Chains A and B, each alone.
Chain A
Amino acid sequence: MFRKLLIANRGEIAVRIARACREMGISPVAVYSDADRASLHVRAADQAAYIGPSPSNESYLVIEKIIGAARSLDAEAIHPGYGFLSENANFADAVEDAGLVLIGPPPSAMRLMGSKTSARTAAQASGVPVVPGTTTPLTSIEEAESVAEDVGYPIMLKAASGGGGKGLRLVRSRRELASAYPLAQSEAAASFTDASVYIEKYIERPRHIEIQLIGDRHGNMVYLGERECSLQRRHQKVVEECPSPVVDEDLRRRMGEAAVKVARAAGYVNAGTIEFLVDEQRNFYFLEMNTRLQVEHPVTELVTGRDLVHEQIKVAAGEKLSFSQEDIVMRGAAIECRIYAEDPDNGFLPSPGRITKLVEPAGPGVRYDSGSYQGWEVPIFYDPLLAKLCVWAETREAAVNRLARVLDEYSIEGISTTVPFFRAIAQDADFKRGEFDTGFIDRFLSVDSQAQRSNDDVEVKLRDLAAIAAVVHAKSSSVEPDSAPARSSESRWKLEARIAQRR
């Protein structure tokens, strides 16, 4: 086993990996930029190397600096976490060339699965379904009609050079196609100066469900159930859970086996995730593979009782997986909320700054993975993920109730966070029933549904009480400003006396 491991990341994931290292008797070493000198991931390490200015393209993304830090601190292995260099095959090459071990897949598998088109081809070759359609431009309306018949309506006409939702057209029948095809072509030509369009089957109200897997260098590969990741905002996951409310034993086995087949075909080793789209009839389609540890891995750990980071480090050191497929038992339900430094009342605008007060969630069934602490200044340079709040309970219903309880106790001051947004989601009837798809958050944030929520009797009362507290606070702090020495153990009689003075 390794003696010393360098963590090429920051924030909550670097802290999480450092914890795994300590549990395994490995010395964790950190890297840090100017902005992160006093960050939690540095405090969690035995040694730390300075790697440059705050912008990540001058520090965390510079391959030579990471390799140099590992060399100078005499680390034997590097864990890249997620983001930054974690899916960079050139980095994986550089780690190998330096005689170090990367906690991740071989560069060849990273390259093959990293490109969407080659990954799609690899999935098809292993007999795993992909979203049906063409990937080459259509040449005529006749061809369009015949492809549409093959994949079945409804279909999407997509501009080959398109992006950002432009050049997309939903077509529900052959009759619509006759008029939509030339329109889509001229739209594509106008927006992208390229008139070519292709067809993809339209998946209505899809769910985004992914399979966690891990393999060793001895040919063993195991899937650890699924994660439901349909709750997304601007294609960014916000809430994940395990298991998915719509996946049963049979579907789990079929998706799991399909995922293992694709990963084996790619020569995959270590932890990885295969993402699928699942339609309303519960057909699943390969989307892409993530060749790294995922942000949302804790929900899988809570339900399967397996530590993925421990296992990643063990298989990277050449050990066999410590469990087989038959050993994987799913128990209970886990939900994760990504706590972002964003202002949900202000279009989710970033909200960096000092955390003046932090009451961390606690109590039964709570797992809190954080990279922040009270008094810390959240830097402007990086991803806004502050922490991941996970709950576990025997059933999904109990987990949702637990989540609501924990969010009530959790408090972050000084900056805005997505905590209140999750509190509202935990109260939502459709969420409670597990009935949602990838469009849920957009509908949830629509003006109508927000107005409906804010006129609820309970909400009106809480708003009133908040207004009262604000007025009381404004009145007392105008006499004694916030910069006055902390009155931490202020007793009621003192307050009463102050009030009396002012009367």
Chain B
Amino acid sequence: MRYEADIDGHQINLELERRNGRIVAVIGQRSYDLEVSTPQPGVYLMFQGDEVHEAHVWSADANSLRVTLRGRLFTASIIDRKQRRTSEHRPEGQQQLTAPMPGKVVRILLKPGDEVAAGQGIIVVEAMKMQNEIKSPKAGRILEVRVAEGETVNNNQVLAVVE
């Protein structure tokens, strides 16, 4: 099977094949022959020859996975080709503004109908004594603000819609 993945901002093509309980993976010019087992859920113990690598994998959100391996943390998303085709066809007009982390809405800077510039702050979310301005992904107009000041929001919750 071929996969496209984004790992820490690096786009890679990954060819993965299972042979007699082993996994053979080819990424660019590099190939790996691994014996993989799962001693605990989400834990992947990979033998490459006599080298031992233990990866811990969990879902960060709907679209990405987090992997720790030898103390390093990676963010990976696997790009499904079908999904990509549909997302390419999605109209560019409306864009949703989502919370990058759980927190509390402390200020709403713009209201529906307001003009907004690309990169302009729309909503300020506070978590752990740090305030973060959620900025507009594009120039346009605020269509909707779905939260109120003082409201607690979850990760990836839609805060506003810009068109």
Contact = CB atoms under 8 A, between A and B. Distances in A.
Interface stretch (A1-9, A113-121, A261-269, A467-475): A467-475
Contact of B56 (A411, A454, A460): A411
Interface in B25-46: 25, 27, 30, 32, 34, 36-42, 44, 46
A248 interface: no
A503 B22 CA distance: 13
Interface stretch (B12-20, B82-90, B137-145): B12-20
A357 B72 contact: no
A404 B66 CA distance: 21
B102 interface: yes
B32 A465 contact: yes
A407 B68 CA distance: 11
A357 B58 contact: yes
B42 A357 contact: yes
B74 A383 contact: no
Nearest to B12: A467
A305 B30 CA distance: 50
B108 interface: no
A162 interface: no
Given A383-B128, A465-B32, A357 B56 contact: yes
Contacts of A345: 8, 73, 75
B66 A473 contact: no
Given A341-B128, A467-B5, A473-B57, A419 B44 contact: no
A246 interface: no
A476 B42 CA distance: 10
Interface string A218-234: 00000000000000000
Interface string A2-20: 0000000000000000000
Nearest to A406: B71
A349 B101 CA distance: 8
Interface string A259-292: 0000000000000000000000000000000000
A11 B58 CA distance: 25
Given A466-B67, A467-B5, A469-B57, A351 B78 contact: no
> Which 3 residue pairs are nearest across A and B when measured between Cβ atoms?
A469-B55, A420-B73, A470-B76
Given A356-B58, A357-B56, A467 B155 contact: no
Contact of B129 (A383, A461, A486): A383
Nearest to B20: A496
Contacts of B76: 466-467, 470
B132 interface: yes
Interface of A: 341-346, 349-353, 356-357, 380-384, 404, 407-411, 413-414, 416, 419-420, 423-424, 454, 459-474, 476-477, 482, 486-488, 490, 492, 495-496, 499, 503
Given A341-B128, A466-B74, A467-B27, A472 B68 contact: no
Nearest to B36: A472
29 contacts: A349-B101, A349-B130, A352-B102, A352-B128, A357-B42, A357-B58, A380-B103, A380-B127, A409-B71, A420-B71, A420-B72, A423-B72, A462-B69, A462-B70, A465-B55, A466-B67, A466-B76, A467-B12, A467-B14, A470-B5, A470-B67, A470-B74, A471-B3, A471-B78, A474-B65, A482-B59, A490-B38, A490-B39, A496-B21
A384 B23 contact: no
Contacts of A344: 73
Contact of A463 (B8, B25, B60, B104): B8
A459 B8 CA distance: 12
Given A352-B103, A413-B42, A468-B23, 13 more contacts: A351-B101, A380-B127, A382-B129, A420-B71, A462-B53, A462-B72, A463-B8, A466-B72, A467-B5, A467-B14, A471-B3, A487-B41, A492-B37
Contacts of B128: 341-342, 350, 352, 380-384
A178 B136 CA distance: 44
